[in-house]
Amino acid sequence: MRLFTFQRAANVDEAVASGAGAAFLAGGTNLVDLMKIEVLNPERVLDVSRLDLAKIELREGALQIGALASNTAVAEHAEVLRAAPGLSEALLSGASPQLRNGATVGGNLLQRTRCAYYRDLGTRCNKREPGSGCDAMEGWTRMHAVLGVSDNCIAAHPSDMCVALYALEAMVRVRGPAGERDIPIGELHLLPGDHPEREFSLRPAELITGVRVPIDALAARSRYVKVRDRQSYAFALASCAAAVQVEGGAIRAARFALGGVGTKPWRVPEAERSMQGRPPTRETFARAAEIALRGAAPRRDNAFKVELAKRTAVRALMLSAGAPS
Amino acid sequence: MELPNRPCLLAFCAKEPRFQEAFRAELRALGAPLFAFAPGSGTVFGADDEPRDIGAQPELWRIYGAGGAALTVVLLDEKQRIRLRREAPEAEGTLLAAIREAGRAVRAAPRGIGRRELLVNSLAVALGAAVLQACASARPAGVRKAVSGAPPLIDVSLVVNGQPRKLHVEPRLVLLDALRENLGLTGAKKGCDMGQCGACTVIVDGQRVNSCLKLVAQLEGANVTTIEGLVQGGQLHPMQEAFLREDAFQCGYCTPGQILSAIALLQEGKPKDDDEIRERMSGNLCRCGAYPNIVAAIRDVAGRA
């Protein structure tokens, strides 16, 4: 790890005021890891882990989750379990108990890809070194994305939590030099396009202070299904957060987001609309999954993900709808 | 000043060291020169020669970042690469113990190993051990200066296994290295050093965490429990006893992490079955594959609670 200057922010205002050019450090499970392997080399690290942002509460029809709430705290919170079980399931499917104790919601929102080439300084990576090329393209791509890819980057988004938050249409609250604003979670993460090094829509010195998850009948039905190479403690090959609300034998509303297959968590409004008014059957869900995977661009080792993602989506949707699978 | 093209030791002492005859005898046996510096003076102790005055050499203090501790000791190999750099809160005893131990290792070594490499390795091991020992038994040092040009060192107070400890460290130091290198608590193990294996698991403020990913700088006032802190009144912790009883390890490297993780697991809630134990222990890998007996040990303690 390279040397850096360490500072501690006493409050959010101070963090924002001195945040330009610094890396905000919370739980450290992602940032410290990447600093150790010298993929990220901030010259100044601003410790925000002691800020008063760890509260989780149900208020104004939404779960208000502080950015510093640990993944464990969110996953085990009674209101989360009741009002958005899919979020809890997603969190508990990720990492290990030790990592979930350290990892925060804010950090998880900004989690960096696990692309092996991004993490290996001996290879070319457009995300790590803009314009240097991408060794993943002709490399081992089993863990890479098939959706949202560009000629410059095929790195998969690693977070489980974010997939659930996409399906739940969460809002991300940030504070910056220009004040506070809310970012729909779908707009927080950027597609790689020509600039894979630009990963987030955050402006300089903006600090994530919390997440707002609207709570309704749909959120209460949310579920998360994750498929991976081993049963526990592994990143997703494909995952799906789904929420289906059925009334009188027909789907009233349905949302789903896919993980492990996109360069960001993947949601397709057209696929969701295709389910409306239809019976909650395998056929309905399979059609929606088909639409969601349109445009998939697999490479040598990850073509299986297209079918796997469809089946994972169907399973999650069936589970949420309470349909026999 | 030119340093020799063979292994040598540099010792930067905050105060003029009193080198006694015993010390020089050890050095002779070792066969590596020692360059000892104090503010305003420098002396080289050759293997056979009488001590020679070489002047204060402020440039060397700067190059090797010395001056922050009572003793900064640097071991260079024949190509003048730094093989070890350590700081200790006490100079003479530390250095003497290290050189004596290294000399013993060199004399006891089998033939056929390159003498220079052997010398360097022996010195590195002995110095590391002696400095660690000195740090473990030392009182906290006063305010130290940082290496010029480098970010300032920071002060952190922790409670480790019930003992208040003060550290004056680089911001990049992680808890695992602070425990092992600065505090002499080598129970927490370095496996992957990237948060994947769980060998470094310790309990911080009641929660199990990977100490390899936790900057000490963030832990002001934290309460840390390591495997060394589990024995109460000479009695092993019930989880330690269960691991022994159930033969829940083979090589033992992952065991401290396994035990702390298992203790935290039970504090978090009683598992309903073996599958739940396995899932909730997924952050602790065991390359020997002692999993069935690890699960048995945890099941056993859970059943007694």
CATH number at residue A160: 3.30.465.10
Distance in angstroms (rounded) separating the CA atoms of residues B33 and A202 = 57
Tokens of residue A150, six digits: 């560009």
For chain A, the first-to-last Cα distance in angstroms comes to 49
Find the helix or strand (DSSP H, E) in which B84 lies: strand B82-88
- Residue A138 inside a domain? The answer is yes
- Residue A147 inside a domain? The answer is yes
Find the helix or strand (DSSP H, E) in which B105 lies: helix B92-108
Residue type, B196: Q
A82 and A214, same domain (yes or no): yes
A22 and A148, same domain (yes or no): no
ipTM computed for the complex = 0.96
Residue A299's pLDDT is 97
Number of structural domains found in chain A: 2
A86 and A208, same domain (yes or no): yes
Given an 8 Å threshold on Cβ–Cβ distance, is B171 in contact with A72?
A: no
Q: How far is CA A212 from CA A62, A73, A109, in A?
A: 6, 16, 13
Give the helix ranges, DSSP H, for A18-70. Answer: 31-36
Calculate mean pLDDT across residues A14-36: 97
Find where tokens 């071991």 sit.
B75
Distance in angstroms (rounded) separating the CA atoms of residues B102 and A82 = 63
Q: Is the pLDDT of residue B43 over 80?
A: yes
Q: Which residues of A have a CB under 8 Å from any CB of B?
A: 1-6, 25, 28-29, 32-33, 35-37, 45, 47, 49, 72, 95-99, 101-102, 232-233
A198 and A89, same domain (yes or no): yes
Kindly list the strands in the beta sheet with A23-25, ordered across the sheet, starting from the edge strand earlier in the chain: A5-8, A44-47, A23-25
Domain that holds residue A94: 53-320
Q: B80: burial class by Cβ within 10 Å (0-12, 13-18, 19+)? A: middle
A289 and A202, same domain (yes or no): yes
A146 and A29, same domain (yes or no): no
Q: Is the pLDDT of residue B129 over 70?
A: yes
Q: What is the DSSP string of A228-273?
A: ESSSSS--EEEEEEEEEEEETTEEEEEEEEEESSBSS-B--HHHHH
A110-152 tens-digit pLDDT: 999 999 999 999 999 999 999 999 999 999 999 999 999 999 9
Question: Please, which residues bridge with residue A8 across strands?
Answer: A47
Residues in chain B: 305
Find the helix or strand (DSSP H, E) in which B203 lies: strand B201-204
- Residue A325 inside a domain? The answer is no
Find the helix or strand (DSSP H, E) in which A173 lies: strand A171-176
Beta strands B163-169; B223-225: pairing state: unpaired
A30 and A141, same domain (yes or no): no
Distance in angstroms (rounded) separating the CA atoms of residues B228 and B179 = 11
- Residue A122 inside a domain? The answer is yes
Distance in angstroms (rounded) separating the CA atoms of residues A3 and A42 = 9
- Residue A93 inside a domain? The answer is yes
Superfamily of domain B154-229 in CATH is: Beta-grasp domain (3.10.20.30)
Which of A21-30, A87-96, B80-89 has the least mean pLDDT?
B80-89
Residue B112's pLDDT is 57
Cα–Cα nearest to B159, from B219, B70, B232: B219
A34 and A105, same domain (yes or no): no
Q: Is the pLDDT of residue B144 over 60?
A: no
| Residue among A36, A97, A232 whose CB faces B208 most closely | A97
Residue B137's pLDDT is 57
A299 and A214, same domain (yes or no): yes
A154-191 tens-digit pLDDT: 999 999 999 999 999 999 999 999 999 999 999 999 99
CATH T-level topology, domain B238-304: DNA polymerase; domain 1 (1.10.150)
| Residue among A36, A95, A99 whose CB faces B193 most closely | A36
Per-domain residue ranges of chain B: 8-136, 154-229, 238-304
Chain B residues lying within 8 Å of A97, measured CB to CB? 208, 261, 264-265, 268, 280, 282-283
